[in-house]
């Protein structure tokens, strides 16, 4: 049997174009926004690096849900922390996004803009009253109406400091800094006394630092960034002083949270943000440091600390909207959040949960002290990370901050450039 | 007339069975090589984002590249990487191969030892070098103990790039050494003996016998290593961090592709345009090296 060149060329073209068309199609099977029907069907639930430590908890939650709603089946998938956003974007682009997804507000924003996140104000408004107002609002996107994820757990963290390094510098270790002005004064003294060998901080200022310093991050409409105001320039100027005096670690310009945490462990840095989970780490990995550990609140000049919010989003293309909404609510309801909070140092976003004795009653341990202090600060905490602040914007800000610290640009120019770059990226996001 | 028409038809027809055998391979090439390549080129002319298909924007992405400081930084660093790494990877593995070429007792151990970095995971290698070159790492402690003082290998823009280059060379030595060992095995022993008889010393024998004999292998190594160096990602990413060093000054072009094109807000179209530039430059590099080789031959 012989075939013509033309037939062969056509076959080859089809072979190449067939997968091309398949890959480009994505998911077009949009689901219903009506969550009032019967709760049934098979759904997939994706968490963010939680299987390793909380497998029994999630299996229990899923079993309870399936028992409560016979006819449902939840398939649980967990993704590693590394590259989580990339995994979601690949799934979203390929039309394989799970029905219920663990997200943070900055991940929700592009998904909502692409029409992939269910508007809970339309589909699940009856649950709104169960959550703290601020937490419910955390998954609202500037420029859009609606709320695009159930609030899940909240997190904030204290600031750890090394008491012996403070004392060696002639500082009162029982009175750690609480505002940025105090922090800068202490940091300069620490660097001077140690001849530049001990830095107080290991990270350059982030968008959250600008927020805690009292800088207006975006305009009221949420259409443009504004952290290049006089207050923003003031903060960066002070960080430049720290950098020049080696009160900010010289490797801060390339640091990651992990690398700065390691510097704190090795006592090269005097202060580092963390969570109650870190105490166990210090006890095991750096017993000397643990003996000298001081715990204080986050530095803030606004009297409001920063909090991180996790959410549970429902895929708007799900074929089982009632089951997906019911499950997302079930995972995040007061009972399950409280039960989760008791397994790990996180805080529930449900109304009234933070008044539970677990978050208010001292038992003399450091862990409880950290937990109670954090729970107290959460009541008026703010999520300083703008929902529309993407990874590319974070990079743009870090790069411009680095230029200012190195003296290649003035703080004002650096922040103007950062705002310009972020505004451009914001416009490109549409 | 009928006869010539059927001859033409026969000439246009091809046997089926070879194509059936080739089909699986063609399918794999089509799906995993040709499709991504064509897709990248097509995307380069659109404003496609991760979740939004985008529209045709002509040469807008390429025009934007011309005004993007980060693109020029990436191009500069990738080019510097080629200039810094390729000569070292052409010469050092050759010298190493000469050292381990002789069959003396225990030489297998050294050959294996030199090859070890090649099989080691780049992530592990990167982390080890980060520990070594850290402000408080082993290298800096040694330098401080001899009075040199601490050096900012991981905080200075240029030292960071040089450190990453050193890791690339260290990791690539063994791989190219093996290629040179194969080439050296084919150099006739008589040539060395004749040169010795003529009074040539070791250096002269190296320059007049060894180098000409392995010249085509050197060209191959230059071509392979220049393409790899221009597309460097892992070493710089691991040592300079995801931002590409202080103020992103150590960003390479492939790092820029990764940073720009990934994530939920990734600019796939723009990242594809950078990829097209990387492709054109690497093809250009290959042609340049091969052309230089042909000139030498002529």
- Residues B84, B89, B95, B97, Cα dihedral to 10°: 170
Cβ atoms of residues B263 and A84 within 8 Å: no
Residue A243 CA: distances (Å) to CA of A267, A308, B16, B159, B208: 18, 27, 71, 19, 55
Q: How confident is the model at residue A7 (pLDDT cuts 50, 70, 90)?
A: low
- Is residue B237 over pLDDT 70? yes
Confidence (pLDDT) at B220: 92
Nearest-by-CA chain A residue for B18? A2
Least confident of A61-65, A253-257, B142-146: A253-257
**Crossing angle of helices A321-332 and A51-68, rounded to 10°:** 120
Confidence (pLDDT) at A15: 45
Q: Does residue A9 sit at the B interface (CB-CB below 8 Å)?
A: no
Of residues B33 and A17, which shows the higher confidence score? Answer: B33
Residues B32 and B35: their CA atoms lie apart, in Å, by 6
Nearest-by-CA chain B residue for A395? B243
For residue A173, give every residue at least 6 positions away whose Cβ sits within 8 Å of its Cβ, in sequence order, or none. Answer: A161, A163, A164, A166, A167, A294
Confidence (pLDDT) at A27: 39
Q: How confident is the model at residue A23 (pLDDT cuts 50, 70, 90)?
A: very low
Name the burial class of residue B102, with classes exposed (0-12), middle (13-18) and buried (19+) by CB atoms within 10 angstroms of its CB: exposed
Residues A373-412 pLDDT 10s: 888 888 778 889 999 999 899 999 999 999 999 999 999 9
Residues B34 and B266: their CA atoms lie apart, in Å, by 23
User: What average pLDDT does this structure show over A121-136?
Assistant: 92
Of residues A149 and A369, which shows the higher confidence score? Answer: A149
Q: Does residue B30 sit at the A interface (CB-CB below 8 Å)?
A: yes
DSSP one-letter string for B96-139? HHHHHHS--TTHHHHHHHHHHHHHS-HHHHHHHHHHHHSTTSHH
pTM attached to this predicted model = 0.84
Yes or no, beta carbons of B51 and A1 under 8 Å apart: no
- Is residue B3 over pLDDT 60? no
Nearest-by-CA chain A residue for B68? A421
Nearest-by-CA chain A residue for B249? A399
Tokens of A72: 């449902």
Residues B201 and B125: their CA atoms lie apart, in Å, by 39
Q: Does residue B27 sit at the A interface (CB-CB below 8 Å)?
A: yes
Confidence (pLDDT) at A36: 79
Cβ atoms of residues A293 and A279 within 8 Å: yes
Residues B95 and B180: their CA atoms lie apart, in Å, by 9
Closest CA to A256 of B159, B127, B92: B127
- Is residue B9 over pLDDT 90? no
Residues B157 and B240: their CA atoms lie apart, in Å, by 9
Query: Which among B26, B135, B263 is the nearest to A86, CB-wise?
Result: B263
- Share of residues in chain B with pLDDT > 90 (%): 65
Q: Does residue B154 sit at the A interface (CB-CB below 8 Å)?
A: yes
3-state helix, strand, coil in chain B (%, to 5): 75, 0, 20
- Which residue carries 């080789």 as its tokens? B293
- Which residue carries 């109670």 as its tokens? A372
Tokens of A98: 């799970």
Residues A59 and B102: their CA atoms lie apart, in Å, by 62
Yes or no, beta carbons of B246 and A253 under 8 Å apart: yes
Three-class DSSP category at A131: strand
Write down the mean pLDDT value for chain B.
90
Which chain A residues contact residue B260 at CB under 8 A?
A: 392
Nearest-by-CA chain B residue for A19? B31
Residues A205 and A211: their CA atoms lie apart, in Å, by 10
- Is residue B205 over pLDDT 70? yes
In a mutational test of the B interface, the residue from A254, A262, A408, A415 whose CB has the highest number of chain B CBs within 10 Å is A254
Q: How confident is the model at residue B298 (pLDDT cuts 50, 70, 90)?
A: low
Give the strand pairing for A100-103 and A41-48: parallel
- Count of CB atoms within 10 A of residue A19's CB? 15
Quote the distance between the C-alpha of residue B272 and its chain's center: 19
User: What average pLDDT does this structure show over B179-191?
Assistant: 89
In a mutational test of the B interface, the residue from A25, A390, A399 whose CB has the highest number of chain B CBs within 10 Å is A399
- Is residue B119 over pLDDT 90? yes
Yes or no, beta carbons of B52 and A114 under 8 Å apart: yes
Yes or no, beta carbons of B247 and A403 under 8 Å apart: yes
Confidence (pLDDT) at A37: 81
ipTM score of the complex? 0.80
**Crossing angle of helices A230-244 and A391-406, rounded to 10°:** 60
Q: Please give the biggest Cα pair distance in chain A.
A: 93
Which chain A residues contact residue B263 at CB under 8 A?
A: 85-86, 89, 390-392
Tokens of A45: 């639930």
- Is residue B136 over pLDDT 90? no
Buried b (16+ CB within 10 A) or exposed e, A255-277: beeebbbbbbbeebbbbbbbbbe
- Is residue A25 over pLDDT 50? no
Residues B185 and A314: their CA atoms lie apart, in Å, by 64
Q: Does residue B121 sit at the A interface (CB-CB below 8 Å)?
A: no
Yes or no, beta carbons of B16 and A113 under 8 Å apart: no
Three-class DSSP category at A100: strand
Yes or no, beta carbons of B266 and A89 under 8 Å apart: yes
Tokens of A243: 């950098």
Yes or no, beta carbons of B263 and A391 under 8 Å apart: yes
Closest CA to A29 of A321, A328, A323, A324: A321
Confidence (pLDDT) at A145: 92
Cβ atoms of residues B239 and B126 within 8 Å: yes
Residues B256 and A221: their CA atoms lie apart, in Å, by 31
Nearest-by-CA chain B residue for A1? B16
Q: Does residue A88 sit at the B interface (CB-CB below 8 Å)?
A: yes
User: What average pLDDT does this structure show over B165-183?
Assistant: 95
Name the burial class of residue A303, with classes exposed (0-12), middle (13-18) and buried (19+) by CB atoms within 10 angstroms of its CB: exposed
- Which residue carries 């999520």 as its tokens? A383
Residues A312-331 pLDDT 10s: 999 999 999 999 999 999 99
Query: Which among A2, A20, A390 is the nearest to B16, CB-wise?
Result: A2
Of chain A residues 403-422, which have a CB less than 8 A from chain B?
403, 406, 408
- Is residue B188 over pLDDT 80? yes
In a mutational test of the A interface, the residue from B246, B251, B260, B268 whose CB has the highest number of chain A CBs within 10 Å is B246
């Amino acid at each position: 049997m012989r075939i013509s060149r033309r037939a062969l060329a056509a076959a080859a073209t089809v072979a190449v174009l067939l997968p091309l068309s398949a890959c480009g199609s994505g998911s077009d099977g949009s689901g219903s926004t009506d969550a009032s029907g019967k709760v049934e069907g098979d759904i997939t639930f994706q968490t963010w690096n939680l299987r390793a430590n909380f497998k029994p908890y999630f299996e229990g939650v899923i079993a309870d849900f399936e028992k409560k709603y016979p006819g449902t089946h939840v398939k649980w998938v967990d993704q590693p922390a590394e590259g989580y956003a990339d995994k979601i974007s690949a799934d979203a682009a390929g039309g394989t996004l799970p029905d219920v997804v663990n997200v943070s507000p900055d991940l929700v924003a592009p998904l909502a803009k692409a029409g992939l996140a269910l508007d809970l104000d339309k589909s699940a408004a009856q649950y709104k009253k169960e959550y703290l107002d601020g937490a419910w609002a955390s998954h609202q996107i500037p420029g859009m109406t609606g709320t695009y994820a159930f609030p899940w757990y909240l997190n904030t963290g204290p600031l750890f400091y090394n008491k012996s390094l403070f004392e060696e510098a002639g500082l009162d270790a029982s009175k750690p800094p609480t505002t940025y002005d105090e922090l800068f004064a202490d940091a300069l003294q620490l660097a001077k006394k140690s001849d530049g060998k001990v830095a107080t901080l290991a990270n350059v200022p982030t968008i959250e630092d600008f927020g805690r310093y009292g800088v207006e991050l975006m305009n009221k409409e949420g259409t443009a960034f504004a952290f290049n105001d006089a207050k923003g320039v003031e903060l960066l100027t002070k960080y430049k002083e720290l950098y020049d005096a080696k009160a900010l670690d010289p490797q801060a310009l390339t640091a990651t949270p992990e690398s700065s945490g390691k510097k704190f462990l090795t006592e090269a840095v005097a202060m580092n943000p963390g969570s109650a989970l870190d105490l166990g780490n210090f006890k095991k990995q750096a017993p000397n440091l643990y003996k000298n550990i001081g715990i204080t609140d986050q530095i803030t000049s606004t009297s409001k600390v920063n909090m991180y919010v996790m959410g549970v989003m429902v895929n708007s293309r799900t074929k089982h909207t009632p089951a997906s909404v019911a499950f997302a609510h079930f995972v995040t309801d007061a009972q399950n959040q409280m039960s989760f909070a008791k397994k790990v140092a996180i805080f529930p976003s449900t109304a009234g949960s933070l008044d539970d004795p677990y978050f208010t009653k001292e038992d003399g341990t450091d862990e409880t002290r950290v937990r109670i202090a954090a729970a107290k600060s959460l009541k008026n905490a703010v999520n300083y990370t703008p929902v529309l602040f993407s990874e590319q914007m974070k990079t743009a800000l870090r790069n411009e901050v680095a230029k200012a610290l190195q003296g290649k640009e003035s703080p004002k120019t650096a922040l103007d450039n950062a705002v310009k770059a972020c505004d451009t990226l914001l416009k490109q996001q549409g | 007339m009928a006869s010539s028409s059927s001859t033409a038809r026969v000439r246009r027809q091809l046997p089926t069975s070879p194509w059936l055998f080739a089909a699986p391979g063609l399918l794999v090439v089509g799906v995993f090589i040709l499709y991504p390549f064509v897709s990248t080129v097509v995307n380069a002319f659109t404003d496609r984002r991760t979740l939004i298909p985008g529209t045709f924007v002509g040469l807008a992405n390429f025009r934007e590249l011309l005004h993007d400081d980060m693109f020029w930084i990436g191009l500069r660093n990738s080019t510097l990487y080629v200039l810094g790494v390729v000569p070292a990877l052409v010469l050092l593995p050759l010298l190493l191969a000469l050292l381990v070429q002789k069959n003396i007792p225990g030489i297998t151990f050294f050959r294996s030892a030199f090859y070890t970095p090649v099989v080691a995971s780049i992530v592990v290698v990167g982390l080890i070098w980060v520990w070594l070159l850290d402000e408080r790492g082993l290298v800096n402690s040694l330098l401080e103990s001899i009075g040199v003082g601490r050096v900012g290998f991981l905080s200075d823009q240029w030292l960071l790039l040089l450190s990453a280059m050193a890791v690339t060379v260290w990791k690539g030595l063994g791989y190219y050494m093996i290629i040179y060992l194969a080439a050296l095995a084919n150099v006739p022993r008589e040539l060395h003996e004749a040169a010795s008889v003529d009074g040539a010393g070791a250096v002269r024998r190296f320059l007049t016998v060894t180098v000409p004999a392995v010249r085509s292998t050197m060209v191959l190594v230059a071509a392979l290593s220049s393409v790899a160096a221009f597309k460097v990602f892992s070493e710089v990413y691991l040592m300079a961090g995801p931002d590409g060093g202080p103020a992103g000054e150590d960003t390479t072009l492939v790092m820029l592709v990764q940073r720009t094109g990934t994530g939920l807000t990734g600019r796939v179209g723009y990242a594809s345009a950078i990829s097209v530039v990387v492709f054109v430059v690497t093809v250009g590099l290959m042609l340049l090296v091969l052309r230089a080789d042909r000139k030498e031959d002529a």
